[in-house]
Amino acid sequence: MEHLDYYSERKYCGHCEKYVPYLMSVERSFCAECGAEVRLFSERDWAQFNEAMQARNAPWRAARATA
């Protein structure tokens, strides 16, 4: 069986600069390789995600931002 949930089991470590397996605590997650705090997306993926959400929720705002 292929590993379909790759990103649900990994988060982005800014220190390793890649998606890594992580250790989860109550509020935060930490890189299993270096121990730095990890997050769900890389900065680039997070920006793209936010842009997509803004375009969907407020197309007029996105249009003004590019003008």
What tokens does 57 get? Answer: 């929720």
Residue showing the smallest CB distance to Zn ion in the complex: 31
Of the pair 33, 45, the CB lying nearest Zn ion is at 33
**d(Cα 51, Cα 57) in Å, to the nearest integer?**
10
**Where does this chain touch Zn ion (CB under 5 A) — which range of 21-29, 34-42, 50-58, 59-67?**
34-42
Question: Tokens at residue 46, please?
Answer: 């997070």
Shortest CB 2 distance to Zn ion, Å: 25
d(CA 66, CA 4): 36
Q: Is 45 in the site for Zn ion (CB under 5 A)?
A: no
CB 13, min distance to Zn ion, A: 3
Query: Residue 21, SS3?
Result: strand
